[in-house]
Structure 1
Amino acid sequence: MKVLIAGGAGFIGSTIASCLIDSGHQPVILDNLVTGRREFAEGRPFYEGDIADRAVLDQIFADHPDISAVMHCAALIVVPESVERPIHYYRENVAKTLEFVDHLIGKGVTRFLFSSSAAIYEPGDDFSVDENSGVAALSPYGRTKQFVEQMLRDITVSTPLRVLSLRYFNPIGADPKMRTGLQVPAPSHALGKLVEAYRNGEAFGVTGVDYPTRDGSGLRDYVHVWDLAAAHVRAIEVYDSVFVGEDPRYQVINLGTGTGTTVLEFVAAFNEVVDKPVAIERAPRRPGDTAGAYTRSTRAAELLGWRAEHTVADGIRDSLAWFAERGKVLPDLH
């Protein structure tokens, strides 16, 4: 099966592409390289351009008329930046997605997978959620995902498009074969900051220690990026069977481990893996941050036959391995 991946030169998109190849499918990559890396698209059909650029999309479909599904992984994702630059985030994540989808429908695309986020959820008292939980995103980034989901749902009512929204929890790790991983030298999420603190012999800042969790730190559902990629491959292979229930054209599936890990517990797990433990330094919450959530859903297992197979420790080890190898894959970053 041939699959167009928008954002396919980024961390998650490129890992999905590798998993597709390993499973006998053919990815076609579209990326504007704002955050993606050209190196991640080597050996794969690659088109540099914006998702809202109709000329680029016309060329892709002229060259690959047999594309049978589209995965939309292109987005800006940094929560604090979204607070500082909301107009930019709404333009890039929402307005351009609308143009993208409009053109795809004109090309006859009917299978569309959207990379959504658990950041849209309003967690329950125990911080667990399922696909029917209320949504109330607390950051401009989260709201762009929430608004795009609603937009896509509305579009499916009157067009041939069917949409599967995959709500990611907290990706960690790297391609186990070290083909791809986090492309930025200093990631803004917890694991990236932990690795940076470990390398520099500094304390790790736990941003927010007054949440109503079991130890006061934020709670996350850390899922290995290779498990996420496998879920996408499985989704396109069984795509036509996932649209069950009240809405035959729009479906939502959570992608997480089903286990909540606090940030302090995550640091403890990190320290179990490395040779020298990282100290912690308590810090205030960042703008737009939430206490977090984990999925209690079984929908991914029921509809996709998918469950996360990697542990938090696996994700930490693969992330450390990637950072040790990254300079060879991305030699212009230091």
Structure 2
Amino acid sequence: MVTGGAGYIGSHAVLALLDAGHEVVVVDNLVTGFDWAVDDRATLVQCDVADEGRVRAAIRGHNVDAILHFAGSVVVPESVSDPLKYYRNNTAASRSLIESAVVEGVKHFIFSSTAATYGTPVRTPVAEGDPTVPINPYGMSKLMTEVMLRDVAAAHPINFCALRYFNVAGADPQGRSGQSTAGATHLIKVAVEAATGRRSHVSVFGTDFDTRDGTGVRDYIHVTDLAAAHVAALDLLRAKPTESHTLNCGYGRGFSVAEVLDAVDRVTNVTIERKLEGRRAGDPAELISDNRAIMATVDWTPKHDDLNGIITDALAWERKLAEMGR
């Protein structure tokens, strides 16, 4: 079962699972996802993950033995202005889903977590054992779910893998899925929208960070590599059912906002207008993953670790959306 499988990252995980031969049922309320983004090989159940009756029926009806949980809200500034939304959609809803998994005997659970659990890292790159002190409700809502999973795995026959994403970008290289949400806030998505005329400019939030050029530095991971990490994590959980893991998902190197926009300019041959603005609430200066743990633990090797390639795939998807009238 893939929750949020009609969304950006979830739809790519569905593709990766199906391509690997798994049977997949998607649970998505379609508030931010799209039914057309779900591959025809999967079954779509339209409901909220907190709807325990329908979720449990779907688990039983499809003999679900593993859940990959992507559903939730993901915009950091919005979490600061509307924290209760994030504690409802991310924490409370996850609690309901985890209980459904336990009651129905689901054995494995993979959780879409985030580098925002670290807050402002004590060092860079940041490793899984470093302090988790979120500086925004989004990060805290995810960390609370990690804690629930740890406690539940200690009490019940279920194991989990919490994957802490860094900055996800790009689109399926075969053009089957990509980021389609209107008003998205991910930098590369915003930048390719500007390059294709769908936005007038790109806002640069903060030029006075303690970084090499004053703009925020992030570790950008291709969404297809991230999806492959989920499939590999599922294989690990099945192979070692008494073990659980919390792992960073990133490439271990970062690019600044200015460097990303320069790369988009080069790839698209368009000069994007940049609007310099103040920092957003809840944004750390730098987030780069120490990815040695995932590389040592999971059978996963990134295949798309190239900024220009990430931008090229995102651009191709943006053009496909325009062709589809979306």
TM bin (shorter chain): over 0.9
2:295 is aligned with 1:297 = no
Structure 1 length normalisation: TM-score?
0.92
1:89 match: 86
1:53 match: 51
Alignment partner of 1:191 out of 163, 166, 188: 188
Alignment partner of 2:102 out of 79, 100, 105: 105
Alignment partner of 1:270 out of 254, 264, 270: 264
CA distance in 1, matches of 2:201, 2:59: 50
2:314 match: 319
The worse-fitting range, judged by mean Cα deviation, of 257-266 and 275-284 is 275-284
Q: In 2 relative to 1, CA 260–106 (structure 1 residues): closer, same or farther, beyond 3 Å?
A: same
Counterpart code for 1:299: A
Q: Does structure 1 retain, via aligned residues, the 8 Å contact 2:237–2:244?
A: no
2:142 is aligned with 1:148 = no
Q: Does structure 1 retain, via aligned residues, the 8 Å contact 2:7–2:34?
A: yes
Alignment partner of 1:212 out of 183, 188, 210: 210
Identity among equivalent pairs (%): 35
Structure 1 vs Structure 2 CA RMSD: 1.8
Q: In 2 relative to 1, CA 24–241 (structure 1 residues): closer, same or farther, beyond 3 Å?
A: closer
CA distance in 2, matches of 1:33, 1:90: 19
Q: Does structure 2 retain, via aligned residues, the 8 Å contact 1:242–1:251?
A: no
CA distance in 2, matches of 1:261, 1:242: 35
3-state SS of 1:295 partner:
coil
Q: Does structure 2 retain, via aligned residues, the 8 Å contact 1:166–1:252?
A: yes
Deviation at 1:174, TM superposition (A): 0.6
Structure 2 length normalisation: TM-score?
0.94
1:288 match: 282
1:308 match: 302
Q: Does structure 1 retain, via aligned residues, the 8 Å contact 2:211–2:286?
A: no
Deviation at 1:91, TM superposition (A): 0.8
Alignment partner of 1:221 out of 215, 219, 244: 219
CA distance in 2, matches of 1:133, 1:316: 31
Q: Which runs of 5+ in 1 are unaligned?
A: none
CA distance in 2, matches of 1:130, 1:59: 38
Q: Does structure 1 retain, via aligned residues, the 8 Å contact 2:248–2:291?
A: yes
Could you give the per-residue CA deviations for residues 17-53 of structure 1, whole angstroms, max 9, x where no partner exists?
Answer: 1111112222210001111101112512110001111
2:3 is aligned with 1:6 = yes
CA distance in 1, matches of 2:26, 2:323: 22
Counterpart code for 1:87: L
Counterpart code for 2:253: T
1:68 match: 65
Deviation at 1:122, TM superposition (A): 4.0
1:261 match: 255
The worse-fitting range, judged by mean Cα deviation, of 316-325 and 200-209 is 200-209
Q: Does structure 1 retain, via aligned residues, the 8 Å contact 2:205–2:277?
A: yes
Q: Which runs of 5+ in 2 are unaligned?
A: none
The within-5 A match list for 1:149-188 is 149-188=146-185
Q: Does structure 2 retain, via aligned residues, the 8 Å contact 1:123–1:133?
A: no
3-state SS of 1:238 partner:
helix
Deviation at 1:60, TM superposition (A): 0.9
CA distance in 1, matches of 2:104, 2:121: 41
2:30 match: 33
Counterpart code for 1:326: L
Deviation at 1:175, TM superposition (A): 1.0
Q: In 2 relative to 1, CA 308–210 (structure 1 residues): closer, same or farther, beyond 3 Å?
A: same
Q: In 2 relative to 1, CA 104–207 (structure 1 residues): closer, same or farther, beyond 3 Å?
A: same
Q: In 2 relative to 1, CA 55–124 (structure 1 residues): closer, same or farther, beyond 3 Å?
A: closer
